[in-house]
Amino acid sequence: MVKVMVPATSANLGPGFDFLGLALDLYNTVSFKPADEWYVTAEGYGAEVLTGRSDLLVCKALQRVFAEIGKELKGGIVHLENHIPPAGGLGTSASAIVGGLAAANRFLGEPLSRDELLALAVEIEGHPDNVAPAVFGGLVGVVKSPSQPYTYLKIPFPSALYVVLAVPKLRVPTVEARNLLPKEVPLTEAVFNLSRTGLLVGACYAGRVDLFRLAMEDALHQNRRAVLIPGFHQVVAAAYQEGALGVALSGSGPTIIAFAPENRQQAVGTGMVSAFNEQGIEAQWLSVAVN
Ligand code: HSE
């Protein structure tokens, strides 16, 4: 049996839609060995709905690695330990996909490189900004390029910033949140986001955490998705009022991610939870380190 850990990830960070993702110090694990049928067990989040299934993303990912090297995988003994809140914008599907790919690859003696795992992960997930940090860790920018399927860059994340997550008791399936977005956007919105994404990446390299608030503004997706998240604007305002330096919808939501100085983590977390509560939404906050 092999066992791998895969981090939660927060995609977009505001303007970097389908480009930026940050791995967090919060993990699911996948244990695996091949068998003639599927025997899936799980503990933690979703244990009751995952146990006994054979149609999970993790199974598909395990099989994909075997197929890639010309082998067949009929089934497997799989155990999942889930610590990442599901359907919350924290990359749980990416963690299942990357966990399955990494576990199969480990079992087979690492025939595939991490770049190859990234390509397979995007093939299954559809967008690259959760799977890339799940594979490589830290803050990653990822671009589909003609020369190779995906080119990525690890970007230094300022050590002065601490991550505070507000996780409401709401479910927002990514596909639903993506369907809210238009196929084309005005040039003004494109320029708004590309200028801020550039500023955000530059601010990370320069350690300019004072630029994060401006650099994390977004015109492409957050306002359109806010209809699925009662209190989104109030929660963002509360986080800034309590001293956050940058706030965004985490991936497609509904989790909201804030970056704060160490001494403001608790105030930002409780402020965001109160703002959700005022809208009648239960929520919890957690502070996690960057992976
Ligand atoms: N970039 C993706 C989106 C991330 O916003 O739809 C989903 O977690």
Give the whole-angstrom CA distance, residue 245 versus residue 178: 27
Give the whole-angstrom CA distance, residue 103 versus residue 109: 10
* 139 touches 158 (CB < 8 A): no
Q: Which residues pair with 256 in a beta bridge?
A: 166, 249
DSSP 209: G
How far CA 148 is from CA of 54, 72, 285, in Å, comes to 32, 26, 39
* 222 touches 209 (CB < 8 A): no
**Integer Rg of the chain from CA:** 19
Average pLDDT over residues 112-138: 96
Question: Does residue 291 have its Cβ closer than 6 Å to ligand 1?
Answer: no
The pLDDT of residue 89: 94
How far is ligand 1, taken at its centre, from the CA of residue 95, in Å? 14
Phi, psi (rounded to 5 degrees) for 109:
85, 30
Give the whole-angstrom CA distance, residue 203 versus residue 48: 43
The pLDDT of residue 100: 98
Q: What is the pTM of this model?
A: 0.95
Give the tens place of pLDDT for each residue, 24-34: 999 999 999 99
Residue ID of nearest Cα to ligand 1 atom 1: 18
Q: Assess whether pLDDT exceeds 90 at residue 161.
A: yes
How far is ligand 1, taken at its centre, from the CA of residue 252, in Å? 5
H-only helix segments in the chain: 47-50, 57-68, 92-107, 114-125, 131-136, 174-179, 187-206, 212-215, 222-225, 232-241, 265-278
The pLDDT of residue 148: 73
Average pLDDT over residues 263-288: 97
All residues at 6 or more sequence positions from 159 whose CB lies less than 8 Å from its CB, including other chains: none
How far is ligand 1, taken at its centre, from the CA of residue 13, in Å? 10
Question: Does residue 129 have its Cβ closer than 6 Å to ligand 1?
Answer: yes
Question: Does residue 128 have its Cβ closer than 6 Å to ligand 1?
Answer: no
Residue ID of nearest Cα to ligand 1 atom 8: 251
The pLDDT of residue 173: 86
All residues at 6 or more sequence positions from 14 whose CB lies less than 8 Å from its CB, including other chains: 196, 200, 215, 216, 217, 218, 222, 246, 248, 249
The pLDDT of residue 153: 97
Amino acid in the structure at residue 280: G
How far CA 84 is from CA of 65, 92, 192, 194, in Å, comes to 24, 7, 32, 30
* Closest by Cα among 36, 105, 29, 35 to 64: 105
How far is ligand 1, taken at its centre, from the CA of residue 33, in Å? 31
The interface predicted TM-score (ipTM) is 0.98
Widest CA span in the chain: 56
Query: In ligand 1, which atom is closest to the CA atom of 11?
Result: 4
Share of the chain above pLDDT 70, in %: 100
How far is ligand 1, taken at its centre, from the CA of residue 128, in Å? 9
The pLDDT of residue 145: 80
Q: How far apart are the first and last CA of the chain?
A: 25
Question: Does residue 17 have its Cβ closer than 6 Å to ligand 1?
Answer: yes
Q: How confident is the model at residue 5 (pLDDT cuts 50, 70, 90)?
A: very high
Average pLDDT over residues 243-260: 97
**Of 10, 181, 252, 257, best ligand 1 pocket probe by most atoms within 8 Å of the beta carbon:** 252
Measured from the Cβ of residue 166, the count of other Cβ atoms closer than 10 Å reads 30
Give the tens place of pLDDT for each residue, 74-105: 999 999 999 999 868 999 999 999 999 999 99
Query: In ligand 1, which atom is closest to the CA atom of 181?
Result: 6
Q: Assess whether pLDDT exceeds 80 at residue 40.
A: yes
Give the tens place of pLDDT for each residue, 166-192: 999 998 888 999 999 999 999 999 999
Q: At 262, is the secondary structure helix, strand, or coil?
A: helix
Question: Does residue 136 have its Cβ closer than 6 Å to ligand 1?
Answer: no
